Structure 1
Amino acid sequence: MSPKKAATGPSVPGAVWLRQRPPRRGQHGLTRERIAAEVVSQLDHGGPAGLNLRSIAAALDVHPTTLYWHVSARDDLLDFAVDAVFAELPLPTRPADDWIEDVRAFMHNLRAALLAHPWSGALASSRPLLGPEALARSEFVYAALARAGFTGDELTASAAAVSNLVIGSVAAETSWQHGDESPARRAVHEHLRANAETYPAMAELSTESGHWGAQFSYSADLLLAGLAQKAPINVTSHGATTQAPQIM
């Protein structure tokens, strides 16, 4: 008798976290954590193109049908891998006195984790982040922003702005990094200069501009400054809180 599949609904990105898992039987010591670690390893070496259930099963020394106790489709493997990357982000044991410092640290730590696995930025931008590790980090960001007084739709939008900036910037950065960036940057610069009448502002940019790390830090600081301006509660340098004035 073949193993019962993990799926009880359609196979779509993120669905693996919402399914009721089948009863445990003999699974050769197979766990989601072992599967995720192998998927991350294969993605780090070969990217998403060659990933499939059979290659993962072979690496774990199990029959492909054994994986069906945990996954039902290739999308599930990708969700496991993305969540494993989020597990690499440290979670402080207690919040900082200043919520901005918590959010800033999260942004830089998330960027570092995603850049360590160049395939992960694009994947994180294309699927719901519903795994336990990703949700734990999202909860951390929501809690920090809630301490600033954000609630309801403003809280949701603020948290989305934080994660979208990081994930989007990493996805853009890794799309460029397939070897030496310099020739591609020079080609783009020459194209803009040759079409300066159409792109006058960008044509003035130097080929030295656009370094990813500095660009990200500046973007993160801009976002945090905007959030601080909008925050209903301000935190002073001594940790005291004051009610922000209402801006109409």
Structure 2
Amino acid sequence: MSVGRTGFVVTDIERADAATIDALGVHGVATVHEAMGRRGLVGAALRPLQDGARIAGSAVTVLNWPGDNLMIHAAVEQCRAGDILVVTTTSPSLDGSFGELFATALQQRGVLGLVTTGGVRDVVDLRAMGFHVWSAAVNAQGTVKATAGSVNVPITVGDTVVCAGDIIVADDDGVVCVPRAEASAVLLASDARVAKEAGSRAAYQAGDLSLDRNNLRPLLADLGVTYVTAQDFEAEHGRG
């Protein structure tokens, strides 16, 4: 599941500038994902614990062993305001490795939320305190603190590799990771996509059809799609 090694806490990660992070957060997951060429999604297995939240921040990555949350404790010290904690395990585990006490400590440091391939618990408290979570499970099963993992090494989260300092954007549509080196280019592409969609939205509000605006009628014809009346279709093909 992970591409990182165990036994390290990397302390001096680089982060993108706050203005770029904030602007990507305004665009949201779907726009950023499309602007990146449909890359970066962590996958549909991670779902939001809350409704209506949209956050963007720098990734602090954590690699735990299954059933063990020792390295989350180590990661708290490496977090600062505007970060998002991103957690996975060396092999799949849905144990509840994160709860209200971790959220309290992270929130005090200005951390925006958690993305985890594992489970979380204390969900009523997490929602009440406004600490936003995207997780693979809700699970009261506890964990131990016994085995060395790593903090701020590259990890694989679902379908993508997340490196410390990459930009995480998360909302009701899921989670997308923007490599830090690509942040400015992805923001420009996202801005362009939003402008294009604004034009399309205005056209649809005026009654235009997406078939025509996107020039899709020739494609339908090339694929052999024909327009027939209901009477002609029934006469040739019957009712079912």
Bigger share in helix: 1
Relative to the length of structure 2, the TM-score reads: 0.26
Which one has more relative contact order, counting CA pairs under 8 Å at least 6 apart? 2
